[in-house]
Amino acid sequence: MSSEIENLLQSVKNGETLSFEAIYRLYLPLIESTASTFCKRFSLSETDIDDLRQEAAIALYNAVFSYSPERNVTFGRYAKVCIQNRIISYIRYFHESFEMASPEELDLYMDEIDPGTPEQLIIDKESLCNLNRKIEGSLTDFEKSVFALYVGNMSYADMAKALSKPTKSIDNAIHRIKAKLRKLL
């Protein structure tokens, strides 16, 4: 999790309401997108979209307090699931007589992830930050330098020249990096 989000979460837990406003603004695209998608999918009214936004905001607030980094999931993904669950509960409770999808179809919706949605972009960014932190923590300084050049499509000979090391050292470092990344992934 990015340190910015981590700090905001801790600030909210410490009672700083302005920090929740910052989290809310950060996750507003997720709230808007989720509420809009459910309204369209189940042909709900414009009045319902406001209710869904409110339910989503409450779910986000509750997610801040119930989130634990030890769960091995980013806050963004956790918040998304909490928001979707609360909206699904709202729809089921207040629209029981409304002819809509079965509970199974509602649950299947949760597995649909459009990579271009705002919430997916936030989740992807958090996931990338977490992965970068894990990579940084597992590589030596030399391996970090080699890795940076390697992902920049530099040849082994050019890396060796840039780092003033033998080509064999570069090759060995890349093998170690790949082994470490396999363990991380």
So where are the chain's domains?
3-130, 139-184
Which CATH number among 1.10.3470, 1.10.10, 1.10.260, 2.40.50 corresponds to the domain 139-184?
A: 1.10.10
DSSP 8-state class, residue 15: T
Which CATH number among 3.30.70.330, 1.10.1740.10, 3.30.1490.20, 2.60.40.1180 corresponds to the domain 3-130?
A: 1.10.1740.10
Q: What is the model's pLDDT at position 125? A: 61
Element (H, E) at 137: helix 118-138
Counted residue by residue, the chain has a size of 185
CA 40 to mean position of chain CA atoms: 24
DSSP 8-state class, residue 152: T
The identity of residue 52, as a single letter, is L
Using a 10 angstrom Cβ sphere, with 0-12 exposed, 13-18 middle and 19 or more buried, the burial of residue 88 is: middle
Q: What is the pLDDT along the chain (185 residues), one digit of tens a residue?
A: 467 888 888 888 888 878 888 888 889 888 888 888 888 877 777 778 888 889 899 999 999 988 888 877 888 888 888 898 888 888 777 765 444 445 555 444 544 445 455 555 566 666 666 666 777 788 898 988 888 787 767 788 888 888 899 999 999 998 998 888 888 76
CB 13 within 8 A of CB 65: yes
> CA nearest 144: which of 167, 176, 113, 102?
176
